[in-house]
Amino acid sequence: MEDVIIYLLNVIYQGYRQSFNIKGRDSRAFYITLVVFQHLWFVFYLALKVVMNYPLLWILVMIFVLPLLASNIRRLHDSGYSGTWCFSWFCLPHLAMIGAMFLPSLNNNNPYTRYPQN
């Protein structure tokens, strides 16, 4: 158990220490551990944001994004892909939303509900 805790602390430390390093590679275990920790950290941020509506909390968002972005680039390098695929983080969700704006409605035979009235 002690070895696991030391490993987790080392991953978190290395992840933040290499926040601006996009060279090299990250293993799958390292990346998964960092992603899980970052998600737990982000839940803490959301709770803090609800309690304290402080305008400079966006700095905490950068604390989440930078290590995860750099680690994602290194993980893509480990998989044999270019780090520029990280731009899909920002582009694909927006393309999906724009695409959903132009999807036609099914007036008949829609299994979910009737046609929206508004």
Residue 117 lies in a domain: no
Whether this prediction's pTM lies above 0.85 is answered by: no
pLDDT at 117: 59
Half-sphere exposure of 62 (CA within 13 A, CB side): 5
Is residue 62 in a domain?
A: yes
**Ramachandran assignment for 115, one of left (phi > 0), alpha (psi -120 to 50 degrees), beta (any other):** beta
3-state class of 102 per DSSP?
Answer: coil
> Is there a domain that residue 21 lies in?
yes
**110 lies in a domain?**
no
**10 within domain boundaries:** yes
Q: Is residue 47 part of a domain?
A: yes
pLDDT digits (tens, 9 = 90+) for 14-70: 777 777 777 878 777 778 888 888 888 888 877 877 777 777 777 777 777 888 888
Question: Where do we find the tokens 């998964």?
Answer: 32
Q: Which domain holds residue 49?
A: 1-102
Residue 22 lies in a domain: yes
Q: Which residue has the tokens 């709770």?
A: 47
Q: Which amino acid is at 71?
A: S
When divided into structural domains, the chain yields a total of: 1
Buried b (16+ CB within 10 A) or exposed e, 2-31: eeeeeeeeebbebbeebbeebeeebeeebb
Phi, psi of 35 (to 5 degrees): -65, -45
Tell me, yes or no, whether 56 lies in a domain.
yes
